[in-house]
Amino acid sequence: MSKSYGVIVVGGGHAGAEAAAASARMGVSTLLITTSIHHIALMPCNPAIGGPGKGHVVREIDALGGLMGRIADLSAIHIKKVNTGKGPAVQTLRVQTDRECYSHLVREELEAMDHLDIYQGEVGEILFHSGQIDGVRTISGSTFHSHRIVIAAGTFLNGVIKVGELSYPAGRQGEFPSVQLAGTLREMGLSLLRLNTCTPPRLDRATIDTSAMDLQQSDTEPLCFSFVHSGRVCSGSVIYITRTTPQTCDIIRKNLHRSPLLQCLSDSSPVRECPSLEDKVHRFPQRENHLVFLEPEGSHSREVYAQGIFTSLPEEVQWKIVRSIPGLERAHIVRPAYGIEYDIISPTILTHTLECRTIPGLYFAGQINGTSGYEEAAGQGIIAGINAALALRGEPPFLLKREESYIAVMIDDLVTRGVSEPYRLRTGKVEHRLVVRHGNADVRLTAKGYAVGTVDSKQYQDTVIKRETIQQEIDRLSHTLVSPSPQLNLLLQKAGGEPIRNPEFLARLLSRPRVTYRDLANFDLNRPYLTPNIIEEVETEITYAGYIERQRRAIQSMSRLENKRFPPDFDFSSVKGLSSEAKDRLSEVHPRTLGQASRVRGVTPADMAVLSVLIETHNRQKKADP
């Protein structure tokens, strides 16, 4: 028997789960194939979600009707605002989740979804029928038909776990790798690259002496990721902080040659964004200690994640490392650390919909595209899922712009600049981050999600109301005068500003960077009741209006380039006047627009001048001679 689906998603990690959920929510019959149904949306590394850049993505996924924000809230055991006081662009949330709870809740939600089937099996082959994608065959021989396939295989392609001298094939700890699928992709003409990463050991909480450690409590104000939730306060779980010692560094230095993943020893490309502890020790020899965060894995487990001790050193060395750290002298390792090497596809072969340029109907999402992190994977998953479903329905693709989303920045970076190490989203990669805040993700994206069918009408209506409320409050503050008074002037002077002599609009006072909305409460008696989220947005839009306007202008000027499109079959290699490096890179990446071309490595302003004339020539020829 062989069933047919609109979309088949291969892989049940964070990318696969979001892709399948998005496609099913859009009403498309969807099949999710996973090698282990117990491991859907597993967190094989940090039991945490969010943080700078990543938290922004979680909010965006939520604004598009995805899973991650809601499930993170429901499984949170510790929530913190990060980067408070560093400006509105970089502020976001980070939660510690109960690992098992997260995975369980995602599985429950997927199982309950209409239009979605789940199947446990390992895909080995991709089927074609008269040159078109036609489905998959599992290694056990079952076939499923579909013209749209999303591959979200994580680190499973030719995965090899490495711990010291030991090395064995595995997709994750305790799971088989996908060897056959890697071969299939290669046969289809895709070039595969090899990346590596590693995870730290888990310790038994009962064997840790926390008495001398610093600790991070969960915030006391109610917080949540999801725009459909209201905030809550977590209590009970604590993150403890300790540091490695010079002795730790000595142990590592003595055993450097035994690390299979140390950059200077292995052939794989440098890992800068997520380095192992041995890399840190090797590259920063003058540094006496490195922070170690002891993060709880969940309420139902005594395991503690030793964030900071990322290593692929042999297990016997891991014991020595752990026990050289204050408070861990008697710690018991429950699960040792390990490194993993795996195949990825080169993401420059993808378009912005995450569809493979050379194999229509085949989409890729998540770690297989060279990214690192659950949030990055989930963000790609939802975009691939939406686009696979849209393509099936013959509708135009779902494309987000760099200036409206972190997810878009990530995808544009991947398909335009490629990867040479696991790609990690950071706020620093988002050039217009003041307009792409975690607080306005719903205002930015929810209407778009509603238009394609991933967001329900309640969430959409709530966002419309939120947007209107923000605007009304900004208008009210812009038109409400306040008279000078000794109390007000004292407040203004305390905030390092000038006192006022004449009545002034509240918005003008709030636009001073050190004056907050709350400060002005006593001078603004007709204030409506507003939620903290809305207040945050009103405050940001007013205080940073000048900066936000500046970025909007920059975006406008950039968009002129983004609107100039290359014809689909444009041959970059034959363009006269381009540097040879630019020719090579452009031919590889095949940018869609002039704006994207400007971000391709090695393309200079002079190359851009040449390309602009070519596009114009082409467009006018087309107009004259359609």
Q: How far is the CB of 141 from another protein (least distance, A)?
A: 40
Q: Is 481 in the site for another protein (CB under 8 A)?
A: no
Q: Is 285 in the site for another protein (CB under 8 A)?
A: no
Q: Is 547 in the site for another protein (CB under 8 A)?
A: yes
Pairing mode, strands 362-364 and 148-151? parallel
Pairing mode, strands 3-4 and 143-145? parallel
Q: Which range, of 1-9, 59-67, 273-281, 445-453, touches another protein by CB under 8 A? A: 273-281
Residue choice 554, 565, 581, 587 for contact with another protein (CB under 8 A) = 554
Q: Is 291 in the site for another protein (CB under 8 A)?
A: yes
> For residues 244 and 387, which CB has a smaller minimum distance to another protein in the complex?
244
Q: How far is the CB of 579 from another protein (least distance, A)?
A: 6
Q: How far is the CB of 270 from another protein (least distance, A)?
A: 9
Q: Which two tokens stand for residue 538?
A: 């009103």
Q: Which two tokens stand for residue 14?
A: 């964070």
Name the nearest CA neighbour of 22 among 380, 552, 305, 375. Answer: 380
> For residues 156 and 310, which CB has a smaller minimum distance to another protein in the complex?
310
Name the nearest CA neighbour of 41 among 100, 111, 112, 114. Answer: 100
> For residues 229 and 424, which CB has a smaller minimum distance to another protein in the complex?
424
Distance, in Å, from the CA atom of 503 to the CA atom of 342, rounded to the nearest integer, reads: 65
Cα dihedral 218→224→225→227 (10° resolution): -170
Q: Which range, of 7-15, 64-72, 158-166, 618-626, touches another protein by CB under 8 A? A: 618-626
Return the DSSP state at 87: -
Q: What are phi and psi of 560, to 5 degrees?
A: -60, -40
Q: Is 272 in the site for another protein (CB under 8 A)?
A: yes
The DSSP-derived string for 587-619 is HHH--SBHHHHHTSTT--HHHHHHHHHHHHHHH
Residue choice 217, 472, 522, 604 for contact with another protein (CB under 8 A) = 604
Name the nearest CA neighbour of 155 among 403, 339, 383. Answer: 339
> For residues 46 and 318, which CB has a smaller minimum distance to another protein in the complex?
46
Size of the site for another protein (CB under 8 A): 69
Distance, in Å, from the CA atom of 416 to the CA atom of 590, rounded to the nearest integer, reads: 8
Residue choice 215, 233, 451, 609 for contact with another protein (CB under 8 A) = 609
Place of tokens 């399948």: 20
Q: How far is the CB of 423 from another protein (least distance, A)?
A: 11
Q: Is 550 in the site for another protein (CB under 8 A)?
A: yes
8 Å CB contact between 436 and 444: yes
Q: Is 268 in the site for another protein (CB under 8 A)?
A: no
- Judged by CB under 8 A, the chain residues 39 through 58 that form the site for another protein are 45-46, 51-53
> For residues 73 and 413, which CB has a smaller minimum distance to another protein in the complex?
413
Q: Which two tokens stand for residue 600?
A: 């391709």
Q: How far is the CB of 89 from another protein (least distance, A)?
A: 6
Residue 218's contacts (CB-CB under 8 Å, 6 or more residues apart) are: 77, 78, 79, 80, 233, 234, 235, 237, 238
Q: Which two tokens stand for residue 101?
A: 């709870």
Site string for another protein, 80-109 (x = CB under 8 A): --xx-xxx-xx-------------------
8 Å CB contact between 177 and 187: no
> For residues 198 and 386, which CB has a smaller minimum distance to another protein in the complex?
198
Distance, in Å, from the CA atom of 400 to the CA atom of 515, rounded to the nearest integer, reads: 34
> For residues 192 and 558, which CB has a smaller minimum distance to another protein in the complex?
558
* Residues found near another protein in the complex (CB under 8 A): 45-46, 51-53, 82-83, 85-87, 89-90, 272-275, 280, 283-284, 287, 290-291, 307-308, 310, 426-428, 431, 433-434, 495-496, 512-514, 544, 546-547, 549-551, 553-554, 557-558, 560-561, 576-579, 598, 601, 604-610, 612-614, 616-617, 620-621, 624
